Amino acid sequence: MKLLLPESIKVGIVVRQSISNSVWAYLGMALGYVNVILLFPNLMDAGQFGLTRILLAVSMIAGQFSQLSVVNITIKFFPYFRNEEKKHNGFLFGALLLTGIGTLLTCLGLLVLKAPIVHAYIEKSELFVENYNYLFLFLIFTVFYNVFDSYCRSLFKTTFQQFTKEVLLRVLIAGLLVAYYFDWIDFDGFLFWYVLAYGSSTVLVLLYTIKLGQFFLKPNFSMLTKKFLKEIGSYGVFTILSTVSIMLVNRIDVVLIGYFIGLDDIAIYSVSFYVATVVAIPARAIHLIVSPIIAESWKQNNLEKISELYSKTAINQLVMGLLLFLGIWVNVENLFHMLPSEYANGKYVILFIGLARLINMAAGINGLIILTSKWYRYDMFFNLFLVVVVIVTDVIFIPLYGIDGAALASLVTIVVFNIIKFSFLKIKCGMQPFTTKSLLAILIAALTFFVVSKIPVSQNFIVDILARSTVATVLFVPLVYFLKISEDINSVIEKFLRINK
C-alpha cells in the first residue's frame, strides 16, 4: 500500500499552528477559569453545576463507543487515502458512515440502560435522572465534532477547531450563565441552550471543512482491499478499547462521585480538578500538532525523529508544567477567596490532580508513540489494566476520603500508567525521555516554592497573588534559561527578548 503524502510537511507549518493553538488554548483557559471558577460556582447552585459535569462525563464515555475508533483510524490511516484529486478516496464518507452506525447503537444502549441507571442515581443525584435525555444530544454533538476535528487535523488544519472548542464555546457558556443570573432564562432553558452551544461547535467545524473544499461524501471503496480492510479493522478494534479505557480513567471519577456522594460534590471536585488541569494546557497544544507528525514518522520508520520528539516534548512539558503548577499551588489559598466557602474542600484535589498532570507531562508523548506504532495493540492491554486500577482505587478511596479519594485514585493511576509506558518504550525501542536536566528542573521548582512560601501573607488576596506569582516567575524562568534546561524554551525567550529590545 502506497503512502500518500503532501509534497512537504514544513516545520514552519508546525510552528505557526502550534503558536496559534497555544494562543487559543491559553485564552480558552482564561475563559474557562472565568466560567468554572467564578461564574458557575457563584451564579448557580452546586447541584445544578454538578449536573452539567456528569452529563458531559457520561456522554464523553459513551462517545468513545459511538466513534468506533474513527478518530484514531483517521490519524493513523488517512495518509494512505490522502489525494485531493480523488476526493481522498472516499475517506470522509466512510468515517461518517461508521460513526453514524456507532452512534445509533450507543443511543440504543443508553435507552436500554436508562432504567438501571435511574435506579442507581435516583437517591444521590436526582437532578441527573430528571435530565437523562440530554445525554443523547450531548453524545451526538461530541462524537461528530471529534470526527471532523480529526479529519481536519490530518489535513494539518488545527487552529479553527481549537478556536471553536477553547474560545467560542466558552464565550457562549459565559453568556448563558449571565442570562441565567439575570433571570432571562430559567435553569431548564439554560440546560437546553447549554447543550446547543456544544452543537454549535460541531456545526462550525462542519462548515469549516466545507469552506476548505474538503467535504467529500462520494463513496469510494477501491482502496479497501481485503488485507487493508483487515488491518484497519484490527487497529480499530484494539484502539476503541484503548480510547474507551482512557476516557473511563479520565471521567469515571465524576460518575462514581455522583453515585457515592452526589452532584454537589461533583461541582466542588470539578472546580478543583479544572484548576489543576491548567497545568496540562501546554501538553494539549503540543499533542494536537505532534500526533500526525509521529504517525508520518512511523510510516517512514524514522525512529530518530520520534526519539527526538519524545525527549523534547518531555523536557518542554515538564518545565512549562512546573511553572504552572507552582503558580497554582503557591496561590491555592487565595483561589478559594473567590469561591463559596464549601469549595475550599477541594484543596487537596488540586494537589493530587496537579501532580498527576505534571507526572504525565514529564513522561512526554509516550502514549501517542505507542498508539501510532505497530505495537498499538499493547496500548489496549495497558489501558484495560488501568481501568481496573482506577475503578478499584475509586471504589476504595471515594467512600473513605470523598473527593480527595477520587483525586488520589487518579494520581495512583497516572503514576502506574506512565511507569508501564516508559518501560515498554525503553525495552522495545531503547527510547527514554529523561536526562539530568529533568531532575534539575524539578530542583529549580522546589527551590522556587521554598522561597515563595516564605513570603508573608498579604491581607489583600489579589496583592498576595501578584506578589507570589511574580516572585515565582522571576526566580524560576531565569534559572531555567541560564542553566539551559530546554533549547526550545531558551529559543523562545531569546526571540521574545529580541522583539522587545
Separation CA 80–CA 89 (nearest Å): 9
Written as one letter, the residue type at 171 is V
The grid coordinates listed for 434 are: 529523561
Separation CA 260–CA 257 (nearest Å): 5
The predicted pLDDT at position 19 comes to 62
Separation CA 354–CA 321 (nearest Å): 9
Residue 218 burial (10 A CB sphere; 0-12, 13-18, 19+): exposed
**How many other CB atoms are there within 10 angstroms of residue 479's CB atom?**
17
Residues 268 and 324 in one domain: yes
The grid coordinates listed for 110 are: 443508553
| CA nearest neighbour of 2 among 89, 96, 98, 95 | 89
Exposure letters 304-342 (e unless 16+ CB within 10 A, then b)? eebbebbbbbbbbbbbbbbbbbbbbbbbbebbbeebeee
3-state SS string for 267-297:
HHHHHHHHHHHHHHHHHHHHHHHHHHHHHHH
Residues 159 and 211 in one domain: yes
Distance between alpha carbon 417 and the CA centroid of its chain, in Å?
16
Separation CA 392–CA 303 (nearest Å): 37
**Helix residue ranges per DSSP H, 67-186:** 70-81, 91-112, 114-121, 126-130, 134-154, 159-163, 169-181
Residue 129 burial (10 A CB sphere; 0-12, 13-18, 19+): middle
In a domain, 4, yes or no: no
In a domain, 2, yes or no: no
Residues 480 and 391 in one domain: yes
Distance between alpha carbon 137 and the CA centroid of its chain, in Å?
21
In a domain, 288, yes or no: yes
Distances (CA, A) of 405 to 41, 250, 293, 401: 22, 14, 38, 5
Give me the residue label for grid cell 430559567: 186
- φ, ψ for residue 165 (rounded to 5)? -80, -45
**How many other CB atoms are there within 10 angstroms of residue 222's CB atom?**
9
User: What DSSP designation does 2 have?
Assistant: P
Written as one letter, the residue type at 206 is L
Are 114 and 132 in contact, with CB atoms under 8 Å apart?
yes
Separation CA 330–CA 450 (nearest Å): 10
Angle, vertex CA 291, rays to CA 66 and CA 358, nearest 5: 95
The grid coordinates listed for 451 are: 522561597
Residues 47 and 183 in one domain: yes
3-state SS string for 437-479:
HHHHHHHHHHHHHHHHHCCCCCCCHHHHHHHHHHHHHHHHHHH
User: What DSSP designation does 165 have?
Assistant: I
pTM score: 0.79
Residues 184 and 266 in one domain: no
Residue 257 burial (10 A CB sphere; 0-12, 13-18, 19+): buried
Separation CA 499–CA 69 (nearest Å): 44
Residues 267 and 371 in one domain: yes
In a domain, 7, yes or no: no
Number of domains making up the chain: 2
Residues 217 and 279 in one domain: no
R_g of the chain, CA atoms, integer Å? 23
In a domain, 233, yes or no: no
Residues 270 and 207 in one domain: no
Residues 26 and 175 in one domain: yes
User: What DSSP designation does 214 have?
Assistant: -
Written as one letter, the residue type at 431 is M
- φ, ψ for residue 224 (rounded to 5)? -85, 70
Give me the residue label for grid cell 448557580: 44
The predicted pLDDT at position 8 comes to 44
* Of 176, 202, 224, the domain-final residue: 224
Determine the longest span between alpha carbons in the chain, in angstroms. 71
Give me the residue label for grid cell 475508533: 69
The predicted pLDDT at position 10 comes to 46
* Of 168, 195, 224, the domain-final residue: 224
State the 10-residue block means of pLDDT for the chain, 501 residues long: 48 55 75 88 91 90 86 82 76 88 93 90 88 92 91 81 88 95 94 94 92 83 78 81 79 91 92 88 75 77 81 88 93 89 92 93 86 79 86 95 95 91 88 89 95 91 92 93 86 77 57
* Of 224, 249, 278, the domain-final residue: 224
Given phi > 0 = left and psi -120 to 50 = alpha, else beta, which region is 364? Answer: left
The predicted pLDDT at position 17 comes to 59
In a domain, 65, yes or no: yes
In a domain, 240, yes or no: no
**How many other CB atoms are there within 10 angstroms of residue 90's CB atom?**
20
Separation CA 379–CA 78 (nearest Å): 20
- The residue segments making up the domain with residue 120 are 22-224
Are 307 and 429 in contact, with CB atoms under 8 Å apart?
yes
Q: 225: part of which helix (H) or strand (E)?
A: none
In a domain, 172, yes or no: yes
Residues 325 and 212 in one domain: no
Residues 374 and 429 in one domain: yes
Residues 208 and 317 in one domain: no
